[in-house]
Every structure is written in C-alpha cells, then in structure tokens.
Amino acid sequence: MPDFSAEDRDRIIRAISKLRRQAALLADLIADTEERVAATYEEIARTRPPPDAARLRGHAASARRFAARERDQAARYWHGGGDG
C-alpha cells in the first residue's frame, strides 16, 4: 500500500464520498423508474383479459421487487457501504 500524505487521503476520501452519493442517487432514480414501470403494468392490466392481466401484474410485482433492492442499495451507499 502506498504511503499517502494527509492531503492525498483527504482528497481520496472526498472522491469516494462523492462517488457513493452519485451511486445512491442513481440507485434511487432506478428505483423510481421501476416503480413507474410497475404502475404502468398495473394500469394496462386493468384493461386486459384475466390471463394477460395476471401476467402483467406479475411483471409489476417483479419491477417493485427490483425497486426495493435498488432502494436498499441506495441506503447502503448513503450510509457509507455499497459493497454488496
């Protein structure tokens, strides 16, 4: 491991913090988009025959699960983690 000066370490820490914030924001945006996708599937499902509606509601549920995972990831980034 290289021997960094205090100034270098501070600059690295700031850069890492900035990247974590950007990753958290991106994960939140992805989650919001997936929620909109889920809402769209459900809206379309209301106008479709039962077999199609069930399939579309399944897609909506999947999109919501993905959104929840992205929100969990965003929370980890906001709180300094994000490795997992």
pLDDT in tens, 10-55: 999 999 999 999 999 999 999 999 999 999 999 999 999 999 999 9
Identify whether the C-beta of residue 28 lies closer than 8 Å to the C-beta of residue 76.
no
* Per-residue model confidence as pLDDT tens digits over 24-34: 999 999 999 99
Contact 81, 23 (CB under 8 A): no
Pairwise CA distance, residues 5 & 51, whole Å? 64
Q: Which two tokens stand for residue 30?
A: 């992805």
pLDDT band (50, 70, 90) for residue 2: confident
* Dist. CA 46–CA 38, nearest whole Å: 13
- Write down the domain spans for the chain: 6-78
What pLDDT score was predicted for residue 82?
A: 56
